[in-house]
């Protein structure tokens, strides 16, 4: 490589001016920094090759070696270089090399006050160019961002990766900042980076949810779970069963708008109609379907799965909402079925025991019947080409009926009767999503033993492998842990307002996505991370 030496020329006034070091491609020479915090010292400049005359110096501005950008989540690597970097200016353009990136281009142009110019082949000063590359086998959420010569190029193998590159650029220039010269190469550690919201127990307005979608998108989350059916409410308009819908609810038009906004941020909305427990709002409209024990006492929230009508109404609802939620993911719930928290389910619920034997053979139990229910609901949703998940306490030990192997485990607790440790699921080859209630559960009113999680604790102690309690599972299972999800549950719905919830989850969300994007020990201290979050707000 031909390197132009940094030399010093002394002008008449005695002022020293340096030359900009450049590589043979005209771009700035540099060195790679991996998760490097600002403050890296400037490397010594190379000398001119021996045997060749030094170029005639000219008075050109000298730039220090660039520093790695500070963003949330932090970028995985940055190759430093010398140059002015880039900041948006009126009249500059966002252009795309591929028409599929028009939405991403329009969004970042509007956010930075630039002109969206569409597909262009020409090059102008100040351009931001978005492009798809043909890097086969690369993570579709990865991207490369090059800042050089007063321009920015963001490329990736998929639209999601390019979008994440625009989020990095947006943070870099926030508040008048400058995107540093050099090359960012970035990708997430985990493919599932989620936030789950309980809108069944507490009604959240569509506007509030849309604000969270924008926040999640800027932080590179890619899933939004909506738990919209429970004992306290059923919160989305229904055409097949309007009688189950709560007075305060979202219309389908509002949900479509949320889903569309989420899609523009590459966020999949994951719906959840929990069953066979947590169906109180449905049962209130259909009391004949409520589970009753041998003494005729109603069991809170539990539907009687020995009745064919129970399966019919739940399947009606699942089928109805498939078109409303076109994403690839679905949550079936499956947790806390109260028939299985008593000491002898077969004696307490003889109708369930009879149905189990009729469906699955002489030795079948109520747990077998509940497992068959979960599998049947999975079949209903998978007919629409959805990937399904269920809470870990919806999987039972020592049953003759086995849960379908394709159902992902949404692991949240280890406190249920007959609790199974995470390694049991992983050893069986199941994929798992981490909802660890010790770190990731924000339960309004802090009932039972719950306390509001802090961003600091997540940032310093949690990783995706810390699935239950505070101990990580062995690293050999890392690939089966798809990621994690921070969750807001509204057990005591009036304990906080919407604004208080937004404020309370602000730092926990940022800490969670940092550890899902890069599970390693962060370079910044918690105080530095918090200060960065405040600066980027």
Q: Strands (DSSP E) along 149-266, which ranges?
A: 151-156, 182-186, 192-198, 223-229
Q: From the centroid of its chain, how far is CA 490?
A: 20
Report yes or no: 516 and 193 within 8 Å, Cβ to Cβ.
Answer: yes
| Helix ranges restricted to H, 385-454 | 422-427
Identical fold between 77-186 and 192-536: no
CA gap 339, 345 in Å, rounded = 6
Report yes or no: 138 and 160 within 8 Å, Cβ to Cβ.
Answer: no
3-state class of 361 per DSSP?
coil
Domain 192-536 homologous superfamily, CATH: Glycosidases (3.20.20.80)
Report yes or no: 178 and 152 within 8 Å, Cβ to Cβ.
Answer: no
CA gap 509, 194 in Å, rounded = 9
| Tally of helices (H runs) and strands (E runs) in the chain | 13, 21
Provide the phi-psi class of 325: left if phi over 0, else alpha when psi is between -120 and 50, else beta: beta
DSSP state of 329: E
DSSP state of 355: H
Catalytically active residues are 336
| Length in residues, the chain | 537
Report yes or no: 275 and 377 within 8 Å, Cβ to Cβ.
Answer: yes
Written as one string, the DSSP assignment of 61-127 is ---PBP-----SSPPSEEEEEBS--B---TT-EEEESSGGGHHHHHHHHHHHTPEEEEE-----TT-
Indicate the fold that domain 77-186 takes in CATH.
Chitobiase; domain 2 (3.30.379)
- SS3 per residue for 229-252: ECCCCECECCCCCHHHCCCCCECH
3-state class of 177 per DSSP?
coil
CA gap 457, 448 in Å, rounded = 20
Who's near 447: CB < 8 A, 6+ residues apart? 491, 492
| pLDDT attached to residue 32 | 53
This prediction's pTM: 0.89
CA gap 57, 354 in Å, rounded = 93
What phi and psi, each to the nearest 5 degrees, are found at residue 413? -145, 165
Work out the number of other CB atoms within 10 angstroms of the CB of residue 344. Answer: 9
First CA to last CA distance, the chain: 43
Render pLDDT for 106-162 as a digit per residue (tens, 0 to 9).
999 999 999 999 999 999 999 999 999 998 889 999 999 999 999 999 999 999 999
- The residue ranges of every structural domain in the chain are 77-186, 192-536
Taking alpha carbons only, the member of 77, 95, 98, 89 closest to residue 34 is 77
Taking alpha carbons only, the member of 125, 136, 53, 71 closest to residue 95 is 125
Query: Which residues does residue 115 pair with via DSSP β-bridges, in sequence order?
Result: 93
Written as one string, the DSSP assignment of 270-318 is EEEEEESSS-HHHHHH-GGGEEE-TT-PEEEEEE-TTSHHHHHHHHHHH
CA gap 178, 139 in Å, rounded = 27
pLDDT in tens, the chain (537 residues): 333 333 333 333 333 323 333 333 334 444 555 444 333 333 333 333 344 444 444 445 689 999 999 999 999 999 999 999 999 999 999 999 999 999 999 999 999 999 999 999 999 999 999 999 998 889 999 999 999 999 999 999 999 999 999 999 999 999 999 999 999 999 999 999 999 999 999 999 999 999 999 999 999 999 999 999 999 999 999 999 999 999 999 999 999 999 999 999 999 999 999 999 999 999 999 999 999 999 999 999 999 999 999 999 999 999 999 999 999 999 999 999 999 999 999 999 999 999 999 999 999 999 999 999 999 999 999 999 999 999 999 999 889 999 999 999 999 998 887 788 999 999 999 999 999 999 999 999 999 999 999 999 999 999 999 999 999 999 999 999 999 999 999 999 999 999 999 999 999 999 999 999 999 999 999 999 999 999 998
């Amino acid at each position: 490589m031909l390197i132009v030496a940094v030399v010093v020329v002394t002008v008449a006034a005695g002022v020293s001016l340096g030359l900009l070091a450049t590589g043979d491609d005209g771009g700035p020479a540099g060195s790679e920094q991996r998760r490097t915090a600002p403050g890296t010292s400037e490397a010594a400049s190379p000398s001119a090759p021996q045997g060749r005359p030094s170029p005639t110096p000219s008075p050109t501005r000298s730039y220090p070696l660039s520093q790695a950008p500070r963003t949330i989540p932090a970028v995985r690597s940055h190759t430093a270089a010398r140059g002015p970097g880039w900041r948006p200016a009126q009249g500059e353009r966002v252009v795309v090399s591929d028409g599929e990136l028009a939405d991403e281009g329009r969004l970042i142009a509007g956010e930075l006050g630039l002109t969206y110019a569409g597909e262009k082949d020409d090059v102008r000063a100040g351009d931001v160019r978005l492009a798809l590359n043909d890097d086969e086998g690369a993570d579709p959420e990865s991207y490369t961002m090059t800042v050089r010569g007063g321009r920015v190029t963001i490329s990736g193998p998929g639209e999601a990766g390019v979008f994440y590159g625009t989020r990095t650029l947006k943070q870099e220039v926030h508040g008048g900042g400058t995107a540093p010269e050099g090359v960012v190469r970035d990708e997430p550690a985990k493919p599932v980076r989620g936030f789950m919201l309980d809108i069944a127990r507490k009604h959240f307005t569509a506007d509030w949810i849309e604000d969270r979608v924008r926040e999640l998108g800027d932080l590179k989350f890619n899933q939004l779970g909506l738990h919209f059916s429970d004992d306290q409410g059923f919160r989305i308009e229904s055409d097949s069963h309007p009688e189950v819908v709560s007075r305060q609810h979202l219309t389908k038009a509002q949900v479509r708008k949320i889903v569309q906004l989420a899609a523009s941020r590459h966020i999949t909305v994951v719906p959840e109609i929990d069953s066979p427990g947590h169906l109180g709002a449905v049962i209130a409209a259909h009391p004949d379907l409520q589970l009753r024990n041998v003494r005729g006492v109603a069991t809170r929230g539990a539907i009687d799965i020995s009745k064919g009508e129970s399966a019919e109404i739940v399947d009606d609802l699942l089928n109805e909402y498939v078109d409303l939620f076109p994403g690839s993911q679905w949550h079936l719930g499956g947790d806390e079925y109260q028939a299985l928290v008593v000491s002898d389910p077969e004696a307490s619920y003889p109708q369930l025991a009879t149905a189990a034997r009729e469906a699955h053979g002489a030795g079948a139990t109520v747990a077998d019947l509940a497992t068959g229910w979960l599998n049947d609901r999975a079949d209903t949703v998978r007919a629409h080409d959805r990937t399904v998940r269920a809470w870990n306490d919806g999987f039972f030990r020592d049953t003759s009926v086995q849960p379908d192997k394709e159902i992902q485990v949404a692991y949240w607790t280890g406190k249920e009767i007959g609790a199974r440790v995470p390694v049991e699921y992983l050893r069986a080859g199941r994929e798992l999503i981490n909802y660890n209630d010790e770190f990731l559960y924000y339960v309004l009113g802090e009932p039972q033993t719950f306390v509001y999680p802090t961003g600091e604790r997540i940032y310093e102690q949690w990783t995706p492998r810390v699935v239950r309690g505070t101990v990580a599972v062995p690293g050999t299972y890392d690939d089966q842990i798809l990621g994690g999800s921070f969750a807001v549950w509204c057990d005591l719905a009036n304990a906080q307002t919407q604004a208080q919830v937004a404020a309370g989850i602000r730092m926990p969300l940022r800490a969670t996505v940092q550890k899902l994007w890069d599970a390693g020990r962060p370079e910044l201290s918690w105080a530095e991370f918090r200060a960065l979050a405040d600066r980027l707000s």
